[in-house]
Structure 1
Amino acid sequence: MGVGVRVGVFLPAAGFPGMDHGEVLAAAVEAAVAAERAGFDDVWIAEHHFMSYGMCPSAVTLAGYVLGRTERVTVGTAVSVLSTCHPVALAEQAALLDRVSGGRFRLGVGRGGPWVDLEVFGTGLDRYENGFEESLDVLLAALGRERVSAEGERFRFREVAMVPRPARPMLPVVAATSAGTVRLAAARGLPMLLGMHVGDAEKAAMVEEYTAAAGDLGGPEVAHVAAGVAYVADTTREAVAVMEETLPRWLGPGLSGYRPVDGRPYVPKDPVEYAGLLCRLHPVGSPGHCADTMLTTIERTGVRHLILLVEGAGDPALTIRNIARLGAEVLPKVRASA
């Protein structure tokens, strides 16, 4: 692939209606294996709780299994939710996977949302609304030091040894959907993960804001990651027709699974409108259209690491075929042109 360009797959373990939970998770694993076979650079696993939108409640756990089923690809979390876990425990898990995989694990973290998860796990709304910066700093200390302690508002513990320590510096990717998180990532010199719900212009603006806020910590060496949806067919019309038919079947019940922790009103996105938006923003189309869309995103945003949601057809066999076609018919043009 061109210098500094990476393309991976993004696996929420999407629970389409009628699919058994075990079938969904097995299909996600097989998709990861197929991505390695097709020549992708990495595999990223999402984390969700109590909903069919994503059936993986522990991205680090599934990442560990996928690392054992693969040999070459990097495997990351997109993302592990800091608002519902202890940052030192997450650092331990990340260091463990880093060691046993020979450096093939990549940690991504995010704030999450004001969801019922905070109630179930007992971390509370304050961790989501006010505690992300403190959680992130404790995580970074645990990943970067031989010994760590904390005297903060939410984390207080005596000094302990980090065992195992990562074999290399581990700088997590931070999911950024707000200006505050962009500035926080910039202040810590951490790359951003930009979501599939925004297009090239919004992503470019966030990268520009990051660069301005980062100062000496920013620059082209910061490898941001951009997520999107990808589906390839013989024609763009055919690909869009498939996605506009299948995506709402997942997005409808999936997005309605988000339950606020405090009873605040929540209106999910319209699944049909959202599916149409995703098709317009991302590489959904013929092989040439998909490659051109990816190259345009790279050019407009400056982000040279794309991760593609490939499960949108809702059928494990079609997901494997989609991955194979992307690897054979789309990635070569991106490699040659980026």
Structure 2
Amino acid sequence: MTQYGLVLFTDSFGTADTRETFDRALDHAREAERHGWHEVWTTEHHFNPRVLNSAALAMAGFLLGRTDLHVGTAVCVLPNHHPLALAEQTSVLQHLSGDRFTLGVGRGQPLVDQEVFGTGMAGFRDITEPVALLDQALRQGRAKGGGGRYEFDEVAITPEPPARRVPFVLASSSPESARLAGRHGVPVLLSPFIDVPTKRAVLDAHAAAAAEHGHQLDPRDNIDSSYFATADDTATAEQLLTTGIAEIERQIAQSGRPLVERPVPTAEQAVAAAERLTGCHIAGDVAECRRQLADRVAALGVGRVLLMPEGAGSHEATVRTIREAEQVFGRG
């Protein structure tokens, strides 16, 4: 059975204060638990007053304590963290939750946090070493640094990580990152900003690299992701997503601090960019969303799909989509 996860952006658009934003996120998680969702996933953003969750693992621990859902991170920005610190915190969350936690990591975006916490553009471009260390730590319970960026004698991870499943998932939007995951026998978390044929090519590159390095992977361990909106008809749902995604991207660009300067898009440019992504997302009435999800799962062979209804443009539209998902998933 396919597992469906709700991604919480914890953005502050249209809310009065930080507490309201986090209260709203918890409300969304509880609505998801009541309406047939299996998982909830949290994000990581820094130094941006529009996207308030700067501690994905802390939020994950909070949600594990407040719901019975599986919880994941989409994603912890790997260049911002020492891989062994991530491994130890992951192990703690897996033990405390009865293995209800999945660590999702990725390279993130070239923003100022990677300069503050990491090595800037160099760390953003090359995550080979931290991926290898994280894999070693979570799979073997021990790790030794000797790759250039991290130099340390072998240490044991405390507590010892559970050995019941693959250790983490790596966010991927290209064959290059998919091949890195495949070399380590690690599943991929597919980006929401690429269409299904591109995702299929990414998965093929992942499977080829895994086979080349002697890993036997279950395709159902891979995870897809998509923006998601329901409405009375497909055109309305697509418009909700186009407007909502354009607003999200514009607000984030206005408040964020990129390492590589780029102009903030105008409202018209943001809408045009969002319209180009229409084919990447899931939108429609309940029956149409059910069909699109079934087609996507069949084409990709994934066992988990993360959906992002906060792109629907308003708190009310987001709540409606979370609730109607119960029918989309076949439980209504």
The 8 Å contact of residues 231 and 310 in structure 1, kept in 2 or not, is answered as yes
The 8 Å contact of residues 48 and 252 in structure 2, kept in 1 or not, is answered as yes
Q: 1:242 to 1:177 in 2, by over 3 A?
A: closer
Matched, 1:231 2:229: yes
Q: Distance in 2 between matches of 1:113 and 1:14?
A: 17
Shift of 1:8: 1.1
SS of equivalent to 2:305: strand
User: What is the TM-score when the length of structure 2 is the normalising length?
Assistant: 0.90
SS of equivalent to 2:105: strand
SS of equivalent to 1:160: strand
Unaligned runs of 5+ in 1: none
Alignment of 1:144-159 (within 5 A): 144-159=139-154
Q: Which residue of 2 is the match for residue 55 of structure 1? A: 52
Q: 1:81 to 1:138 in 2, by over 3 A?
A: same
Q: Which residue of 2 is the match for residue 240 of structure 1? A: 238
Q: 1:250 to 1:20 in 2, by over 3 A?
A: farther
Comparing 218-227 and 200-209, the one that deviates more: 218-227
The 8 Å contact of residues 228 and 307 in structure 1, kept in 2 or not, is answered as yes
Q: 1:238 to 1:178 in 2, by over 3 A?
A: closer
Comparing 209-218 and 32-41, the one that deviates more: 209-218
Shift of 1:193: 0.7
The 8 Å contact of residues 194 and 227 in structure 1, kept in 2 or not, is answered as yes
The 8 Å contact of residues 81 and 118 in structure 2, kept in 1 or not, is answered as no
Percent identical residues: 33
Q: Please tell me the residue identity of whatever aligns with 1:22.
A: R
Matched, 1:292 2:306: no
The 8 Å contact of residues 92 and 164 in structure 1, kept in 2 or not, is answered as yes
The structure 2 residue matched to 1:7, chosen from 4, 8, 29, is 4
Q: Distance in 2 between matches of 1:201 and 1:60?
A: 32
Matched, 1:325 2:324: yes
User: What is the TM-score when the length of structure 1 is the normalising length?
Assistant: 0.89
Q: Distance in 1 between matches of 2:16 and 2:65?
A: 25
Q: Please tell me the residue identity of whatever aligns with 1:303.
A: V
Write the deviation string for residues 21-56 of structure 1: whole angstroms up to 9, x where unpaired. 322222112211211111111111111112256321
Q: Distance in 2 between matches of 1:137 and 1:213?
A: 15
The 8 Å contact of residues 12 and 49 in structure 2, kept in 1 or not, is answered as yes
SS of equivalent to 2:312: coil
Q: Please tell me the residue identity of whatever aligns with 2:227.
A: V
SS of equivalent to 2:330: helix
Q: Which residue of 2 is the match for residue 280 of structure 1? A: 279
Q: Distance in 2 between matches of 1:189 and 1:124?
A: 27
Q: Distance in 2 between matches of 1:52 and 1:272?
A: 22
Q: 1:50 to 1:40 in 2, by over 3 A?
A: same
SS of equivalent to 2:161: coil
Comparing 229-238 and 271-280, the one that deviates more: 271-280
Alignment of 1:81-120 (within 5 A): 81-120=77-116
Q: Which has the higher contact order (CA 8 A, sep 6+)?
A: 1
- Aligned residue-pair number: 326
Q: Distance in 1 between matches of 2:73 and 2:206?
A: 22
Alignment of 1:1-338 (within 5 A): 2=1, 5-51=2-48, 54-71=51-68, 73-130=69-126, 132-169=127-164, 170-215=166-211, 216-221=214-219, 223-261=221-259, 264-267=260-263, 270-327=269-326, 329-332=327-330
The 8 Å contact of residues 87 and 139 in structure 1, kept in 2 or not, is answered as yes
Q: Distance in 2 between matches of 1:148 and 1:96?
A: 17
Q: Distance in 1 between matches of 2:239 and 2:257?
A: 31
The 8 Å contact of residues 46 and 78 in structure 1, kept in 2 or not, is answered as yes
Q: 1:268 to 1:203 in 2, by over 3 A?
A: farther
Q: Please tell me the residue identity of whatever aligns with 1:203.
A: K
The 8 Å contact of residues 232 and 290 in structure 1, kept in 2 or not, is answered as yes
Q: Please tell me the residue identity of whatever aligns with 1:193.
A: L
Q: 1:171 to 1:49 in 2, by over 3 A?
A: same
Q: Distance in 1 between matches of 2:114 and 2:15?
A: 28
Q: Distance in 1 between matches of 2:196 and 2:119?
A: 35
Q: Distance in 1 between matches of 2:72 and 2:153?
A: 30
Q: Distance in 2 between matches of 1:146 and 1:208?
A: 30
Aligned-residue Cα RMSD (Å) equals 2.2
Shift of 1:7: 1.3
